[in-house]
Amino acid sequence: MQNEPDKKSGPLFAQVAVKMPVDKAYTYLVPPELHAILKPGMMVRVPFGRKEVEGYCVGLAETSSAENVKAIREILDEQVLVDGNMLKLTRWIADYYFASWGAALDCVVPGGVKRGSMGRRVEFASLAVDKAKAEELIALYREKSPARARILEALLASGKETPVPRLKSEADCSASPVKTLAKDGFVHIEKKHVVAQPFANLHAPRRPHLEMTPHQTEVFTKITRHIDAKKYGAAMLNGVTGSGKTEIYLQAIDRVLKQGRQAIVLVPEISLTPQTVMRFRERFDEIAVLHGMMNDSQRREQWMNLKEGKASIVIGARSAIFAPVPNLGLVIVDEEHESSFKQPRSPRYNARDVALMRASIENAYVILGSATPSLETYFNASVGKYTRLDLPQRVGGLPMPEVEVVDMRVESRETKKSPMISRRLRELIEATLGRGEQALLFLNRRGFSTHIDCPACGMVLKCKRCDVSLTFHKKRNRTVCHYCNADYEAPQSCPACGGKLRYFGVGTEKVDAEIEKMFPEARLLRMDSDTMTGRNSHEDAFKMVASGEADILLGTQMIAKGLHFPRVTLVGIILADTPLFIPDFRSAERAFQLISQVAGRTGRSERGGRVVVQTLRPEHFSIRCAAQHDYEAFAREELQMRRQLGYPPFSRLARFVVEGTQTGNVREKCDRIASALKDAARDMKLRVVGPAPAPIAVIGNKTRYHILAMAPTSGDVKKMLAEIRPHLSNAKGAHVIVDVDPVNML
């Protein structure tokens, strides 16, 4: 029932951004009983059409020109979840990434906070009597009820409350004697919410700051000058692998903490390893960790610790950029080139760019660190938009690893086979294992075979829902679509003609089998999304490598960065060309980055290191430059090509994808958007490419068409989107996706 405003105190109106695909905030009347409670940043429930929806209060006013104003139904959480700075940031995200303000606000607050997830309720037991009485009871029960005596002894020895399940284990008893002691008033039992701490098993002894090299000292001096100014600024920290970027981060954070401010450290999800967290815990207390493998209650506790000032540093993946720290001083984006910083769903923000905007709003400093900076960041540093900082040498004067390129075309001709492991790589693995050292093998494809066809009739085994080949997983005898996750039983013969099937392509499962044949005595550990399925899988795997329990580590990109294992002296890249097969203007950049990052996992100790790059295209400039550790040469050549083609960083890009189950409707909608874009191009410097079928034309039974629009500046993109907005709504059988600054062109 709608509440009438209090005539004495005057009406109060709230602007509410609802969690719906709309681009405006709506006006609602604040019921009198909520006047003193409601504040901007609180979650509310409001009527919206014929239903009630959730939203966020984004402003309050005593007057409104709106008519037929409905009243807010209720406040869902009486704490301010989003402060004023975050309201500004989410408004920018909504505008720039073409999303609703409600959606932008909703991605800021973790689901566990919105749902109030408190964790498991566990019973805790503690002594309800003093020590003397406890000892008296123990003597009394020793023969009469040994279980009760053991319970009291365990609680007395502990001196603090103990979870009942653990107490039962220590006292070797059931729950019955515990309950009896509680009933008699000798033990107090209380139920509490318990949240498992992320990386709780990590024991990190405190370590002092390391002595810096001259290059590190020079870089750190420049950074501290900016940090001490307490003004917005940004730097590109371009440091080769092993050059000590993390030490720079740690000492910069220490500087910020001493000023009473906080720091956010963003790392790609695949780099958020126990090893990374331990390096921070060795220096600092009160660290919060936020990552995708955490449950709701864990995320809520970490988020609340930050909001309440119990933690001053947050380490996490892309969503950690929204951490509720009250006085932000520093944001570090490590491996800033990583595509995983881009959110795949609306709002499709890039955490790197959001970090820059948040720092601008809150007068913080941003460090964008990488051994292989994105060309956008490199270009911005080149033109003076960011400060350029370089660490050109490894710490301790260690050399970069020697890289050998093996032409697999020659290998096939000479061996009359199509080997996965070249003769040279096999020879070096044998030598590495013989010295008691470790080898790391990298292939960014999982499964056993990546292509199945029938030579008799030409049939290619494809997903029934997507326009992609199925990948064969031999261990499970299943074929899997790596786009929609459809899972099929592997056929014994061609479904079309009954002929014998042919298997092509190499995945980590196939390499795993080959390595086991070649080196049956070696302890092999495979890390990919098929094997790392448990909550602690990554932590356990890294412990095995660090302790020497694994001789060979085989994996996908989750092993490509952020790892420091001194005993890894050999890296083998099974097929360096994988990114080059992808129809994307960034394919050469990704190939260079992957090879450079994986190569950087070795040679990080006095033992030295060696890298073998197996390729079918040794002449490609990205592979050639990566083998020579020459980022500058790669950047010059790639930027020259981008300039000629007008691709980023020489333009800003928006991609429009139309998908749906009705192909005719999809094509018609895509044509209309393209027509609107071409009309807008008459008045703007706008280049339109398409419409055309997307590189993967069908995913999940949905036909996909796309258009690319390139404009000189981000302001031009915003103007373009505003002009064609009426054409971007969904149509029957055609869903429209707008992706500003896309990183995935498939």
* 625-634 tens-digit pLDDT: 999 999 999 9
Region 285-303 average pLDDT? 80
Q: Retrieve residue 490's tokens.
A: 């592997």
Per-residue pLDDT band at 304 (split at 50, 70, 90): confident
3-state secondary structure of 566: coil
Per-residue pLDDT band at 273 (split at 50, 70, 90): low
Q: Retrieve residue 661's tokens.
A: 């189950």
Residue type, position 173, single letter: C
Region 356-376 average pLDDT? 97
**Do the domain assignments include residue 202?**
no
3-state secondary structure of 19: coil
Measure the CA–CA gap between 274 and 23, rounded to whole angstroms: 41
pLDDT of residue 463 exceeding 60, the answer is yes
Q: Which residue has the higher pLDDT, 448 or 280?
A: 280
407 and 541 fall within a common domain = yes
Residue found under tokens 């989107």: 721
**Do the domain assignments include residue 53?**
yes
Share of the chain above pLDDT 70, in %: 95
Other C-beta atoms closer than 10 Å to the C-beta of 690 total 18
Phi first, then psi: give them for residue 249, nearest 5 degrees. -60, -50
385 and 434 fall within a common domain = no
Region 28-57 average pLDDT? 94
Measure the CA–CA gap between 572 and 574, rounded to whole angstroms: 6
Nearest by Cα to 554 from 488, 508, 595: 508
**Do the domain assignments include residue 364?**
yes
16 touches 30 (CB < 8 A): no
Q: Retrieve residue 202's tokens.
A: 């990590």
561 and 662 fall within a common domain = no
Q: Retrieve residue 341's tokens.
A: 């910083």
Region 415-422 average pLDDT? 90
* 527-571 tens-digit pLDDT: 877 777 666 677 777 778 878 888 999 988 877 765 677 889 999
**Do the domain assignments include residue 467?**
no
Measure the CA–CA gap between 635 and 140, rounded to whole angstroms: 81
Q: Which residue has the higher pLDDT, 246 or 123?
A: 246
Region 349-373 average pLDDT? 97
Per-residue pLDDT band at 195 (split at 50, 70, 90): low
pLDDT at 606: 78
**Do the domain assignments include residue 156?**
yes
Number of independent structural domains in the chain: 5
| Domain final residue, candidates 334, 367, 397 | 397
Residues linked to residue 238 through DSSP beta bridges, in sequence order: 370, 390
57 and 102 fall within a common domain = yes
Share of the chain above pLDDT 90, in %: 60
Q: Which of 125-129, 192-196, 667-671 has the highest mean pLDDT?
A: 667-671
- R_g (Cα) of the chain, nearest Å: 29
Q: Which residue has the higher pLDDT, 438 or 206?
A: 438
| Domain final residue, candidates 77, 93, 115 | 115
Q: Cα–chain-centroid distance for residue 10?
A: 48
Q: Retrieve residue 242's tokens.
A: 């092993």
| Domain final residue, candidates 69, 96, 115 | 115
CATH of the domain at 58: 3.40.1440.60
**Do the domain assignments include residue 551?**
yes
583 and 671 fall within a common domain = no
Q: Which residue has the higher pLDDT, 35 or 451?
A: 35
**Do the domain assignments include residue 265?**
yes
23 and 93 fall within a common domain = yes
CATH of the domain at 728: 3.30.70.600
Q: Could you give the C-alpha distances from 112 to 116, 303, 632, in angstroms and in order?
A: 6, 9, 44
Residues linked to residue 660 through DSSP beta bridges, in sequence order: 703
247 and 392 fall within a common domain = yes
Element (H, E) at 230: none
573 and 695 fall within a common domain = no
Residues in contact with 612: Cβ distance below 8 Å, sequence separation at least 6, in sequence order: 403, 404, 406, 422, 424, 425, 428, 570, 571, 572, 573
Residues linked to residue 571 through DSSP beta bridges, in sequence order: 440, 611
pLDDT at 7: 42
pLDDT of residue 13 exceeding 70, the answer is yes
What is the b/e burial string over 22-59, where b = at least 16 CB atoms within 10 angstroms of the residue's CB?
eeebbbbbbbbebeeebebbbbbbbebeeeebbbbbbe
Cα angle, residue 91 at apex, residues 89 and 95 outer, rounded to 5°: 115
Region 222-232 average pLDDT? 96
387 and 408 fall within a common domain = no
98 CB burial (10 A radius; 0-12, 13-18, 19+): buried
Measure the CA–CA gap between 436 and 142, rounded to whole angstroms: 55
Measure the CA–CA gap between 331 and 622, rounded to whole angstroms: 30
552 touches 515 (CB < 8 A): yes
pLDDT at 119: 57
Residue found under tokens 């992808």: 582
Residues in contact with 718: Cβ distance below 8 Å, sequence separation at least 6, in sequence order: 95, 96
pLDDT of residue 356 exceeding 80, the answer is yes
19 touches 102 (CB < 8 A): yes
Residues in contact with 479: Cβ distance below 8 Å, sequence separation at least 6, in sequence order: 452, 461, 470, 471, 472, 473, 487, 488, 489, 490, 491
pLDDT of residue 4 exceeding 60, the answer is no
Sheet holding 478-480, edge to edge: 471-473, 478-480, 487-489
Q: Mean pLDDT for the chain?
A: 89
Per-residue pLDDT band at 198 (split at 50, 70, 90): low
* 231-260 tens-digit pLDDT: 999 999 999 988 999 999 999 999 999 999
Label residue 721 left, alpha or beta by phi (over 0 means left) and psi (-120 to 50 means alpha).
Answer: alpha
586 and 524 fall within a common domain = yes
Measure the CA–CA gap between 359 and 364, rounded to whole angstroms: 4
461 touches 479 (CB < 8 A): yes
Q: What is the pTM of this model?
A: 0.85
Residue found under tokens 């964008």: 368
**Do the domain assignments include residue 663?**
yes
CATH of the domain at 569: 3.40.50.300
Per-residue pLDDT band at 1 (split at 50, 70, 90): very low
pLDDT of residue 8 exceeding 70, the answer is no
pLDDT of residue 2 exceeding 60, the answer is no
462 CB burial (10 A radius; 0-12, 13-18, 19+): middle
Upper half-sphere CA count for residue 533 (Cβ side, 13 Å): 2
Domain range for 78 is 13-115
Region 60-67 average pLDDT? 89
Detail the DSSP E strand segments found in 128-241.
162-163, 187-194, 233-239
Residue type, position 356, single letter: L
Range scoring the smallest mean pLDDT among 28-42, 432-446, 557-571, 632-646: 557-571
269 touches 317 (CB < 8 A): yes
Residue type, position 15, single letter: Q
Measure the CA–CA gap between 340 and 318, rounded to whole angstroms: 8
pLDDT at 29: 95
Measure the CA–CA gap between 489 and 478, rounded to whole angstroms: 5
426 and 568 fall within a common domain = yes
424 and 334 fall within a common domain = no
Sheet holding 287-290, edge to edge: 287-290, 313-316, 262-266, 328-334, 365-370, 233-239, 387-391
Omega within 30 of 0 (cis) for the link into 649: yes
444 touches 489 (CB < 8 A): no
Nearest by Cα to 719 from 685, 691, 670: 685
